[in-house]
Structure formats: C-alpha cells, structure tokens
Structure 1
C-alpha cells in the first residue's frame, strides 16, 4: 500500500532544497508518494546542462549576494526569490502520472478563483485577454520504478530582477549547452491580490490529499524539514554537501571558449581560453609587446586554474612579484583581463 507524505521545507537555502528533491527522487521508498513544498531566497537556478557564464551575469550575482545553484533536471535558467513557490511531486510507477500532479496544482489554484491551464508540456498559464501569460514552469525525471515532477509558481516575485541576473555581459563566449528561452511571465497576485505562499501551500496540500482520499487520514502529518532538523530522508547531509560545492554549480559546465583582445599603449594582446568543467584547460596569449615574457608565462600558469576572478587575480598577483620590470604592463593588463572574466 502506498504511503502518502507531505514535506515542507522551512529553509530557503536552494542547495538544501535541491538536495531534498534529489533524496526524494533517488533514495526514498518508491511506495511513498510525496508532495514537497519549498522556496528559495534570491537564487539563480540553472539546468544541469547549462553554462552559468553564458546564462547569467555572474559578476552581478556575486556582487549582490545571489546564490547560484545547478539542478539535476534539464531546462533553462530561472531566478527565485521568496515570491516564488516551488512544488515537487514524486510517486512510484505505475501510479506516477505528471498529468495528475499538474491537475492537482490547477485544482489548488481554483481556491483563489484562478483559472489556470496547461500549455504544452511544461508550462501553466493564465489568459490576459487574448494573451497567454506564464506563471509556472516544470521539469520532469523518470526512472524504472518512479517519476518526479517539479515546478514553480510565481506568486509575487520581483520580475524586474530577472534581467539583472539572467542576462550575461556581452562577451565572446562560444559555448556548448542549452540556452534559456525567456517567456512572457506574470505573478498570480495580479489576478488575486490575496494570494500568498502560505495560502498556496495549504491549498496544494489539501488538493493533494483530497485526490488520494487522504484528507481525513489522521495519521498524515506535515513533515517540516531544515538543515538543522533531524530528517528521515536518507543520505540528505551528503547530498546537501554535493549541491553546495563549486565543482557542481560551476564545474559541471559544458566546454566553452572565451576569446578577448585589447590594445594598450605598450602593445596589443589577444587571449584565448578553453574551459572544461569550469577549469581552464588551454590558454593562449598573443602580444606584440616588446617584452612578451610575462604573458608567455601566464599562458602556462593559467592551465588548470578555476575560471573565476579570485583564482586568476591571485595568479597575476604572483606574476607581478616575479616580474618587477614589467609591473606597469602587468597591472594594466590585470585590470582589463579581470574585468573581462565574468
């Protein structure tokens, strides 16, 4: 007999919440059907095959204290804040049916007099005159014995911030991977100003339990989870650690190249970088400077270094101490080069 569970995260840490999802999908008993409700604070979430340097303005993300998180499902980059409610459904096969979980969400929104409809495979939309506006996107995973459906609900998200973080600085990045397609989106509070995260959460839970005839079952209790609470979810601590690592969020990026060039008073320089798994695999620097030695050294030193400002800055600082005679050239190059790295 299937056991029905409702999990609610009290954490807004995206790495924790994505780890909970992963454990639900891979480690939990397939005879447990699950609804998981969660929110992330100020986060850019990218798909598993995406390049953060191509999809996002990583410099602004760092400056504004935004968290970057990579999920293990496909799809495009999205911005989450506390105005965005997330849901996850998991069920064993043959019970699993993404049409069922989609309908549960639609039924829950009827509580707020919102007539939502599925549009294609992934989106939920509402009509604004003749225009369809998206307020929810979904992704799916399936294994032999279970299926998984997660999605977003824009309640009162700050949509103006989407462009702040999901538009990369213009650079010569020739990247493999999946590029996001930006859609026309809207918040549900424009339809019903009284809608809230807590209200939607309660409506989702009720619609979910009613669908499985469990709404009168006294044995079902909402399980509240956080990084500080004990959890019955297996392997959660290890999975949380994995999602928190640079190697996952940046290092799993598909191979890409970064080409740049500039002219200085002492000569011109061209830089070509090949990056694999977030690590500089190949670096070529060409210059007509009268003293090319520091840049020839830098070509070799860059190989194996993380593609990020701090790592490269430290490398050039060390180069400066070893090339005092070329200090002015290296300083000028450093300011430009670091500015070009996202």
Structure 2
C-alpha cells in the first residue's frame, strides 16, 4: 500500500500514485517523482528507496522552499543542516524572501542595517547562523544553499555551477573573485557565506537577478563602523552591486532557478582527489516548511525571529556620542555663569543590553552637573538602541533648560544639543514631562552662535 499523506485530496493522491515508483514518500503536496535510491527528508520520515547501502550512488536533490518568510527559510535551512545525513547525498536548497536584511552570525545589526528605514518600511532584520557580511533580500534575489558532508565541502565548485548556469542561460560571462563573490564587469551579483559542522556543512549565496537596488542601498549601512561604535564584530565589506537583468533584460528568477538546479543535477561529482563519484539525480522537490513536515521548525523560527537572537547575540560593543549640554544652574540668576559643556557619553553593551554607562566631561561641568546626568546613568540594564541614548540626553537637556532663569541673556544661545536633538523632539519631550518650556525658548536654545 502506498504511504501517502492523508491530507492530500483524493484526485491528487491518485495522480501521484500513477507516477511514483515503489517505494515512495512525499515531502509536500506538490512533490515530483523520486528515483529508486533517492534519500530525502520529510521531517516525519526519512528513507532510502530500493538500493542497498553498499551499492548506493551519491544522490543529488534540489529542494525549493514554498515560503518567502526569511525566518521560516532560515529555520528550514537549519533543520536540514541538523537533521540531514549527507554522507551519501547532496542537496541544493533554493529559496527567496520578501524584503529583509540578513546579518552574519558575528555582526552588529545596529552597525550594518539602517534600523530607522527598515522599521519605517517594515523590513525585518534577521541574523543567520553562518558568518560573513550583511545582505539585502527581496523576491528579485535567489538564495542557494548547498548541503554536503564536511569532507566534501567545496564552495568554489558551487560558485562555478552558478557561473555555468548563467552562461548557459544568458551567455553572461561572470567571474568568481578571490573573495568568492561572483561578479559581472567588476560588480557583485553574488555574495557567499558558509557554516561548517563536524559532519555536515553548507555553503549559501545570493544571486541578484532583478532586486530593487535602491532599496538595498537604503536598507544597508555601508562603509564600515559608523556613529561611534567600537566592536570586534565582523564588518561588511562594501561593494558595487549589479543585477543580472541589467546585463540581460529578460533575466527572471524562475529561469535562473531552473538553470542552477539543472546544472547541479547534471554535473558529474568529483571527490577531493579529483576522481569522479558515481551519482544519481533525484529531481526537484517542493518543500512546505511547516511543523507537520519538519517537527520543531516552528520553534526554531520563533527563536530566530526573537530579539534575543537578532540583537542579543551581537558581539560586545560600545557606543559613544559627544553632546554639548547646558551647564547646571549653580550661579543663581547671574547669566554670565551659565554656559555649555562638552560631554562624551559611552554605553557599553553586552548581549544587546546596556551594562555600563560612562560619562566624560570634556570641560569643567558645574558642581551639580553630575546629578543632571542621572537620566543617562539610569540606562544600565535596558535594551540598547541609538535612540535610547538620545532620549536620555533629551531629558537631561530639558531638565537643564528648566533650570535657566527665563529671559536671561547668558551664553546659552551657543548651546548645540547634538545632531539628533531637534525643535520638535525637544518640545515633545517637554510636553511628555509637563514642562512649561515655551517654544520660543526652545528656538533660542537651538540657535547656534
């Protein structure tokens, strides 16, 4: 009796039974037929069909994810990596995501991604398990993950397959550079990263087919560490990018997907000594990444989408900014004693949480000035964001300005609260704190001499 999922409609079950050889099993509702000897993973069952292990050639399978959710696809990739047995098989997972930013395992998302822009456009930021730099994904980009045993890991061979597939389809002469990026006329069309385990390894890469490069440029920060960050986190190397459609207007993701899958299945496999290994193509397999087929995948997805993973796994770092703040009022109503002080604030961050605040007064603050910085000191134990520090400084500024006698003609007009403190933010902050500070006074404070 054929062991098919009970959830399949009767007509579809009959159609699949007609085309599948014995023995057989399906991984999704739209799987193609399997060849004898095919080894693959359903989540609930794993099997090898009809060929003894001793005589079994190396099996090759192409998996295509039916999800466009970045966290689901990263969870699927992780599931295959942990559950798959690739001693006698090789697999290629092809997947696409809706717009998102994906940082490397050892990167700082606040450095790599434009968090404000991503939040405005509802672009999720994800952290993958592999190293390497930050990438932008959308439906115009194809992701390829090559699964092998650790001993047979060969990223250059994988990149050569992609290069060959594009040449065969569009006649475009791509080049694999020394960094294992794929380029067209010196512009990057594919970036690469990998995860190497004790027994299993995977190499994954992007292929920019017709991505929205304007969104890519806005969603990513380029040019290295910015805004006062100090860290040992991996920094992305900026590069000029290009899409295949810029070279070939007819380029489509579906065509590139088919071409890479075809080359993967048809190309002979060589071991690390250059000897050809007997292999057998198992065809394409559409995967429905769900707990039904892959038990535990939903839990993995939740972990990958959590703050603790995306931000909490950031390598330790510090973040510093210098502000010009009004001195505290210890001079009575004598406007000549008022002025500004340059203060550098540093937040030390571990696991995404502020663990220490450091305040350096670059010139003499008044005797009571330290107490006015209590808002900054209180950040310890909070989740880090750049705006967390800005808000604390705004509260400090608001408190200090309340201390000035109204109508004084001191040198507070030279006060510069820093690049992120604006008229609107100061007024909003004062209104939240029920501060009677008038808008004219805010304008005077924000006017630089």
Normalising by structure 1, what TM-score? Answer: 0.81
1:103 has 2:164 as partner:
no
- Tell me how far apart the structure 1 counterparts of residues 321 and 151 of structure 2 sit (CA, whole Å): 53
Give the match for residue 202 of structure 2. Answer: 148
Name which structure has the greater RCO, CA cutoff 8 Å, separation 6+: 1
Give the match for residue 47 of structure 1. Answer: 104
Q: Which runs of 4+ in 1 moved over 6 A?
A: 309-317, 324-327, 332-335
- Work out whether residues 28 and 234 of structure 1, in 8 Å CA contact, stay in contact via their aligned partners in 2: no
Please point out which of 178, 186, 199 is paired with 1:120: 178
The Cα offsets for residues 92-122 of structure 1, whole Å up to 9 and x where unpaired, read as: 2544433332232223212222222322252
- Work out whether residues 54 and 175 of structure 1, in 8 Å CA contact, stay in contact via their aligned partners in 2: no
Please point out which of 134, 140, 147 is paired with 2:188: 134
- Work out whether residues 10 and 224 of structure 1, in 8 Å CA contact, stay in contact via their aligned partners in 2: yes
In structure 2, do the counterparts of structure 1 residues 326 and 157 end up closer, same or farther at CA, with 3 Å as the change threshold? same
The Cα offsets for residues 68-102 of structure 1, whole Å up to 9 and x where unpaired, read as: 11112111112112211110010225444333322
- State the aligned residue count: 322
Give the match for residue 212 of structure 2. Answer: 158
- Which of structures 1 and 2 has the bigger CA Rg? 2
Please point out which of 249, 255, 259 is paired with 2:316: 255
Q: Secondary structure at the match of 1:247?
A: helix
The Cα offsets for residues 172-231 of structure 1, whole Å up to 9 and x where unpaired, read as: 22222111111122110122211111111111222222126645x5xx45122245x732
Give the match for residue 295 of structure 1. Answer: 373
Q: Which moved more, 1:100-109 or 1:172-181?
A: 100-109
Q: CA deviation at 1:291?
A: 6.2
The Cα offsets for residues 311-336 of structure 1, whole Å up to 9 and x where unpaired, read as: 7799999x99xxx987957xx98984
Give the match for residue 308 of structure 1. Answer: 385
Q: Secondary structure at the match of 1:54?
A: helix
- Work out whether residues 129 and 195 of structure 2, in 8 Å CA contact, stay in contact via their aligned partners in 1: no
Q: CA deviation at 1:246?
A: 0.8
Give the match for residue 274 of structure 1. Answer: 348
- Tell me how far apart the structure 2 counterparts of residues 23 and 106 of structure 1 sit (CA, whole Å): 28
In structure 2, do the counterparts of structure 1 residues 75 and 302 end up closer, same or farther at CA, with 3 Å as the change threshold? same
In structure 2, the gaps of 5 or more residues are 1-55, 269-278, 328-339, 404-415, 426-449
In structure 1, the gaps of 5 or more residues are none
Normalising by structure 2, what TM-score? Answer: 0.63
- Tell me how far apart the structure 2 counterparts of residues 88 and 162 of structure 1 sit (CA, whole Å): 21
Once superposed, what is the RMSD of the aligned Cα atoms? 3.2
Give the match for residue 225 of structure 1. Answer: 288
Q: CA deviation at 1:17?
A: 1.2
1:167 has 2:221 as partner:
yes
